[in-house]
Amino acid sequence: MTSADAFGFSTRALLAHRLRSSLSLLGMAIGVAAVVILTALGEGARRYVVGEFASIGTNLLIVVPGKTQTAGALPGIGGTPHDLTLLDAAAVARLPGVQRVAPLAMGTETVANRERKRQVAVMGATADMAPVRRLHVERGQFLPPLELGRGAPMAVLGLNVARELFPGEDPIGQVIRVGSWRMKVIGVLAHRGMQLGVDMDEVVVVPVETAMRLFDRRSLFRLIVEARSRRELPSVQPLVVAKLAARHGEEDVTVLTQQAVLSSFDRILRALTLAVGAIAGISLGVAGLLIMNVMLVSVAERTNEIGLLKALGVEGAQVRVVFLLEAALLSLAGAVAGLFLGWVGVLVLQHLFPKLPSTTPVWAAAASLAIALVTGVVFGVLPAGRASRLDPVLALGRR
Amino acid sequence: MIELRGIERTFVVGDQPVHALRGVDETVRAGEYVSLMGPSGSGKSTLLNVLGCLDRPTAGTYTLDGREVQHLDDAELTAVRRHTIGFVFQFFHLVPRLTAAQNVELPMVFAGVPREERAARTADALAAVALTDRAHHKPEQLSGGQRQRVAIARAIIMRPRLLLADEPTGNLDSTSGRHVIELLEELNAGGLTLVVVTHDPGVARRAERVVVLADGRVVERVRGSELADALAAVHAR
């Protein structure tokens, strides 16, 4: 018997019971589709987070006031660290290997254009913030370089803030109130979305000195240090720590690399995707049981046919191959249908959550296909074995 | 062609041994036409299964075509069935999803006969049973007589030396039954050894020889033409 003949015989047997065959392969299809869709979702979340980080460059160091004493404690908890000041920022900027330093102050304040008011995040920044965080202005300009220690009553608005405070108006040159301060709008940021946990469309950026006075703070929120290149990042990190330790008299800052945060997020989300995929994979096992059930029914129903085949001189092994092939074809057809269903599901997902770059990882699609095929065959072994062992006399005798 | 010596076949039903065959001696010459008669439970079905290498005797020797087959294993018996024996059944046993041609082709598919050769042999076999125009019909589209002729074409497609027919007319009206018997006799005339199991004395007496079984033993051997109506009546009780 050639494989083409076996294939033809098995296919015809499956087509003779279209409803039953399609119902049992539907189980497999749903299982594969679940794997495809859920891993796409997990992968989408992972890529989204990774993309978020990548969007602000990977050669950054983030200096946070406060020292993590033990694993698990958050920076800033425990101990009273020295203030992280603009002078610190200036000192770090002079270190070799450092391209730029962007000091950052953060707070929340009411921003108003006459009677239009909004509570927004206010970022205190310098001119260097734009290149470091890859920010662009849609209109006007970003903060100009200012002398150290000098503030100025000027503000750059996030896109949504500008739209809401100045609907249908050009905000450039207008005056807004930030808390009790009056500031002139000099620019509007281009659309950026979430960045480092802050929606850049929903902020107001003011000079860092101004922000610190506004919030009455003496310490910066963060220092963002840009190394000249990613290769110099490992050598810059200890220099920054040493410099600040020398200025403060003790090591009281935490330096995070973008890379470390990124890779831990990456690991967590990969594990999550794998777990979700594995849970969906269980349904493939259930689908395998369904196929076994259908194959057992098929063997019982075709007892006469099997007896006939044996009387005609067909070997038990050939009977086994034919039934195994039927199980394999069922699960393969189910898996292919599932890949298609999953593809459609992912398209829907992409439509519903356009920000999430949902795509099924190739390994997940390949693994689900392989698992589907293997379960189909494994669960086909029992029915096929039963068929091959049927006694022809008894099988033919049954009507 | 067939030589049976002291064939016994015992089944165990529950705790009780049941002697289906109790020492059958019989010889069938190559090309002979033999009918096997006997009441229900006489052992004729068991004997047919033994003859067809579907079952092994508990004791005795069975020489088929010069070869002792009673001790062969399943795989060897399968090969014997494939190449030496053709079966025709009372209930036709056609595969319902396959066309007439595909049913006829089936033994060759599993025997690994090349595709081109299969097509030619199938066409010849269908022509031999006068069903060329029904080649692409499914069994459900065929009459009982046509189905049995398809089954006969299938039985001879591997060119066996022995044809075993189990009540071949049992499910047919008398006209179709006669056509089927005539077809089998034609094949026998071509040299094929033919053993027909039947209840019908009208069918049985057409054979050269009638072997009558009762209680697992051969009780009577007569020429077909001499099959007494009285014996037929006894058999039919």
On chain A, the residues whose CB falls within 8 A of the CB of B109 are 1, 5, 9
Mutation site, B55, B77, B78, B102, interface A, largest A CB count within 10 A: B78
Answer whether residue B185 shows pLDDT above 80.
yes
Cβ proximity of A126 and A210 under 8 Å: no
Strands A154-157 and B209-214: unpaired
Going from N- to C-terminal start, the domains of chain A cover: 3-52+263-397, 98-225
Sort B114 into a burial class: Cβ within 10 Å, 0-12 / 13-18 / 19+.
exposed
% chain A with pLDDT above 70: 94
Give the pLDDT score at B157.
94
Q: φ, ψ for residue B189 (rounded to 5)?
A: -65, -25
Question: What pLDDT does residue B32 have?
Answer: 94
pTM: 0.71
What are A143's two structure tokens?
Answer: 């903060």
Q: Is the pLDDT of residue A144 over 70?
A: yes
Please tell me the distance from the alpha carbon of residue A191 to that of residue A209, in angstroms, as a whole number: 25
CA dihedral sign, ordered A32, A33, A39, A43: positive
Q: Which of A11, A21, A312, A394 to mutate: most B Cβ within 10 Å?
A: A312
Q: What is the pLDDT of residues B24-73, one digit of tens each?
A: 999 999 999 999 998 888 888 899 999 999 999 999 999 998 889 988 98
Does the pLDDT of residue A73 top 50, yes or no? no
pLDDT of residue A287: 85
What number of other Cβ atoms are within 10 A of residue A370's Cβ? 12
Which position has the token pair 């036709």?
B92
Return the HEC string of A242-280.
Answer: HHHHHHHCCCCEEEEEHHHHHHHHHHHHHHHHHHHHHHH
CATH of B2-97+140-235, one of 3.30.930.10, 2.60.120.10, 2.40.30.10, 3.40.50.300: 3.40.50.300
Residue B203 has pLDDT above 60, yes or no: yes
Q: Other CB atoms closer than 10 Å to residue A312's CB: what's the count?
A: 25
Interface check for B9 against chain A (CB to CB < 8 A): the answer is no
For residue A126, pLDDT beyond 70: yes
Task: Locate the domains of chain B by residue range.
Answer: 2-97+140-235
B13 touches chain A (CB under 8 A): no
Query: What's the rounded mean pLDDT across residues B2-7?
Result: 92
ipTM of the complex: 0.90
Q: Which residue of B has its CA nearest to A308?
A: B93
**Chain A interface includes B130 (CB < 8 A):** no
Is the pLDDT at A397 greater than 80? The verdict is no
Residue of B19, B21, B23, B32 whose CA lies nearest to B5: B23
SS3 A203: strand
Return the bridge partners of B34, or none.
Answer: B195, B209
Single-letter amino acid code for the residue at A368: S
Residue A344 confidence (pLDDT) above 50 = yes
Q: Which helix (H) or strand (E) holds A342?
A: helix A316-352
Closest C-alpha to A258, from A102, A99, A101, A62 = A62
pLDDT of residue A74 exceeding 80, the answer is no
A177-216 pLDDT, tens per residue?
998 899 999 999 998 877 777 888 899 999 999 999 899 8
% of chain A residues with pLDDT over 90:
28
Give me the pLDDT at residue B193, please: 95
Provide the mean pLDDT of chain A: 86
Tens digits of residue pLDDT in A235-282: 888 899 899 888 888 888 888 887 777 778 888 888 888 888 888 888
| pLDDT score for A182 | 92
Residue with tokens 């037929």: B232
* pLDDT of residue A122 exceeding 90: yes
Query: Which H or E run includes B149?
Result: helix B144-156
Q: What is the mean pLDDT of residues A375-381?
A: 87
The two beta strands, B33-37 and B193-197, are: parallel
Contact B87 A311 (CB under 8 A): yes
Query: How many other β-carbons are positioned within 10 Å of the β-carbon of residue A204?
Result: 24
Residue carrying structure tokens 């997020």: A265
Q: At what angle do helices A316-352 and A18-54 cross, to 10 degrees?
A: 40
